[in-house]
Amino acid sequence: MARVNQTEIAILGALSIEPMTGYALREGIRDVLGHFWSESFGQIYPALAELERAGLVERAQGDRPGASVFSLTAAGLTRLEARLAEPISATPPRNGLLLRLFFGRHLGPEACKSLIRARRAEAEHQLAELAQIRAANARVPDLTGDRAYWTLTILAGEHGAQATIAWADAALAELEGLSPPTEPRKDHS
Amino acid sequence: MARVNQTEIAILGALSIEPMTGYALREGIRDVLGHFWSESFGQIYPALAELERAGLVERAQGDRPGASVFSLTAAGLTRLEARLAEPISATPPRNGLLLRLFFGRHLGPEACKSLIRARRAEAEHQLAELAQIRAANARVPDLTGDRAYWTLTILAGEHGAQATIAWADAALAELEGLSPPTEPRKDHS
DNA sequence: CCGGTCATGTAATCGGTTACATGATTCG
DNA sequence: CGAATCATGTAACCGATTACATGACCGG
């Protein structure tokens, strides 16, 4: 897996858009970067504490008692630029659906088809969500000059989801030929 | 991340095709499942030892001294079928390229374009590799009835790679408009 | 004989999730 | 007032990678 701490990039990047609390950071990452990134609280809070110690972010009192609003320091911005320029560490692939389909003979064609249909529905749902994100992206004023870059990630999600749908249809067609499972399941007359 | 040990599924599945050593297991997973799965030695050997203890695989003397050939037991096959039927645990998304592009304003359009071009070239290379795999899949006799299922995973890889290429072209076009970086880099004339 | 491949395994480490503990605030 | 939301953090655990240690065998 990624040798480098990419959580840092996500946090510094998010704070480069606007200062926020750890909680809001997680919400934002889930809602905005959700289709290509994720972070859990268990990562965010320790990471924020460490970034603060390193002087890359600053903690300010928030509205509510106990709430801290974090913002990027000048050093933090420099660090973000450096981290973004690092080579991308590719995550080793781990696709649970394809693993099951590869050994699909032991599942039978019908079970495989329903896995594929579920994946197709998921992609359809993703597409609908991306349309929402796309609309939101077009709506807000582009104060920071980020919009074009955000569009790239939306495009990626859309292309991926469309490819998944096309694949699912081709895969279902491919399985049409296989009526009787190689190993008939639960058919001990 | 996946709560369940999916390494077990990969190992049991591979051994359901033919018995082999831990080393061959890793080679096979890299070469055959490479475009959607990966395992390292540090996972495989401990996992094999545990599967042996649980009576799901059997160890036999291999050709060379010190080499063990593992094969699936009846209990192992039953376990494989059960594991395959489990719900798929989705891996939380973590796409390093999209993360960088989302914060691409800090990188500038040119750096982003070259990241995208690199990804495009990678997808093109993947497509070539998949053609090899597809040819190999068509060549070997389909003794076990696995071929149709294997085709599904190849199809998935091809659709994904093609989508990546199409996205890359759209993304490059999208970035064409942005000539001057929002933050001009190294241009302190 | 030497380097590459086949082969097995362990130790250190890490990135990340989950669950838990805690408490203030807001809203119906 | 009670439930949902906002908010911060810690501890346990685990899946996984990397690096290391070891050694036999094969081909040139």
Nucleotides of chain C in contact with protein CB (under 7 A) are 6-12, 14-20, 23-26
- The residue-averaged pLDDT of B134-139 equals 94
Minimal CA separation from A174 to chain B, in Å? 7
Confidence of residue B150 (pLDDT cuts 50, 70, 90): very high
Within 13 Å of residue A122, how many CA atoms lie on the same side as its CB?
13
**What does the pLDDT look like over B6-17, one tens digit per residue?**
999 999 999 999
Per-residue pLDDT of chain A (189 residues; tens, 9 = 90+): 456 789 999 999 999 999 999 999 999 999 999 999 999 999 999 999 999 999 999 999 988 888 999 999 999 999 999 999 999 988 999 999 999 999 999 999 999 999 999 999 999 999 999 999 999 999 989 999 999 999 999 999 999 999 999 999 999 999 998 765 555 555 554
Given the structure tokens 């993360």, which residue do they identify? B99
Q: Do B101 and A152 touch (CB under 8 A)?
A: yes
Neighbours of B13 (CB within 10 A): 23
Mean pLDDT of chain B: 92
pTM more than 0.75: yes
Q: What's the confidence (pLDDT) of residue B90?
A: 86
Q: Do B175 and A148 touch (CB under 8 A)?
A: yes
For chains A and B, count residue pairs whose Cβ atoms are closer than 8 Å.
200
Backbone angles phi, psi at B92, to 5 degrees: -60, 135
Q: Is B4 in CB contact (< 8 Å) with chain A? A: no
Q: What's the confidence (pLDDT) of residue A64?
A: 85
pLDDT at B186 over 70: no
Q: Tell me, what DSSP letter sits at residue A91? A: P
Confidence of residue B183 (pLDDT cuts 50, 70, 90): low
For the CA of B32 and the C1' of D16, the distance in angstroms is 20
Q: Do A97 and B88 touch (CB under 8 A)?
A: yes
Contact present, B58 and B15 (Cβ < 8 Å): no
Whole-number Å distance between alpha carbons of A30 and A53: 26
DSSP secondary structure, A124-159, as one string: HHHHHHHHHHHHHHHHS--SSS-HHHHHHHHHHHHH
Q: What's the confidence (pLDDT) of residue A147?
A: 96
For the CA of B83 and the C1' of D5, the distance in angstroms is 38
Angle of helix B147-176 versus helix A109-139 axis, rounded to 10: 10
**What does the pLDDT look like over B34-65, one tens digit per residue?**
999 999 999 999 999 999 999 999 999 988 88
Record the tokens describing residue B128, joined without a space: 């070539």
The amino acid sitting at B147 is R
List strand residue ranges (DSSP E) for A13-95, in order: 57-61, 68-72
Q: What's the confidence (pLDDT) of residue B83?
A: 96
Q: What share of chain B is helix, strand, coil (3-state, %, to 5)?
A: 65, 5, 30
Given the structure tokens 């990630």, which residue do they identify? A153
- The residue-averaged pLDDT of B125-150 equals 94
Q: Do B145 and A182 touch (CB under 8 A)?
A: yes
Furthest-apart CA atoms within chain A: distance in Å? 74
Q: Tell me, what DSSP letter sits at residue A71? A: E
Q: Is B87 in CB contact (< 8 Å) with chain A? A: no
